[in-house]
Amino acid sequence: MTTYTIGFVGLGNMGAPMAANLAAAGYTVLGFDVAGTTAKGVTSVATAEAACEGADFVITMLPNGTILRRVADQLIPAMKTGATLVDCSTVDVQSARDVDAQATAAGAGFVDAPVSGGIGGAAGGTLTFMAGGSDTAFASALPLFDIMGQKAVHCGGAGAGQAAKICNNMILGATMLATCEAFGLADKLGLDRQKMFDVVSTSSGYSWSMNAYCPAPGVGPQSPADNGYAPGFAAELMLKDLGLSQQAAEAVDADTPMGALALALYQQFVEHEDGKGQDFSAMLPRFAARGRQAP
């Protein structure tokens, strides 16, 4: 195995286990987080720039595009020529493209590589990476993706990874809402939830939201619903991704009415109800408790 030095900026719930997996695989990992968090096997450094020192790769896991741009302004001048910046945040497409141009101008590579799989996937090294960037940059980062995840798909040029992520999560948000609505309707019709699952999970209503992440407690595989809806993927993160999908849709004049409605429902849930801090599947008890709303 080629031994790399890796800088990792953003050691939160996702970044910390990802960095720890790289360290456990034998890489030298220099980590920095503004909150002072650390990760197992990772050498903590005092600044983001210090994480770039001698690094062949710098990985970022950050909250949004504004922060990515600000951090990129710090990191890219500190990176050695030929190093590659791998951003695993979920941000807007334009931010990814702008940071790619900035890195290229400085003689560095760039890959936008948002992830799917949540905290469990980060800890278990089973994430899926949706990557955008040049063929060369993607190929160079692939050994790292193989450690942190189970699959990496090169989706195209810069920004393509972010495009794939927001399209995927727009589908996820809409299908979870439909699944929760259906369970709420089944309850009121007197249909047992287990029977509902047994039919839909092997019928045309099959979806990841139903089959792998069922929002009904005690039904289907273990999911956050069985843990009081403690988040595997928080409702506020779904709200963020749906917002990004609608921002992108507006920019390219795409008609996405289901995505827009999903955004409105999660915005109501997170900002005006009790959704913040709950899993995005906690829409089920919300719907189950409500009667039919006026159009």
Q: Which residues are catalytic?
A: 165
Tracing tokens 């990874």 back to the chain, one arrives at 161
What are the strands, taking DSSP E only, across the chain? 5-9, 28-32, 43-44, 57-60, 84-87, 109-112, 115-116, 127-133, 149-156
* 3-state SS, residue 6: strand
Q: Which one, of 40, 57, 222, 53, lies nearest residue 138 by Cα? A: 57
Looking at residue 292, the DSSP 8-state letter turns out to be: P
Q: Is 121 exposed, middle or buried (0-12, 13-18, 19+ CB in 10 A)?
A: buried
Alpha-carbon distance of 8 to 36, in angstroms, equals: 13
* 3-state SS, residue 43: strand
Is residue 51 within 8 A of residue 9, CB to CB? The reply is yes
Pairing of strands 115-116, 57-60: unpaired
List beta partners, residue 127.
149
CA–CA distance from 247 to each of 80, 252, 260 (Å)?
34, 9, 10
For residue 222, give both structure tokens.
């273990």
Is residue 145 within 8 A of residue 125, CB to CB? The reply is no
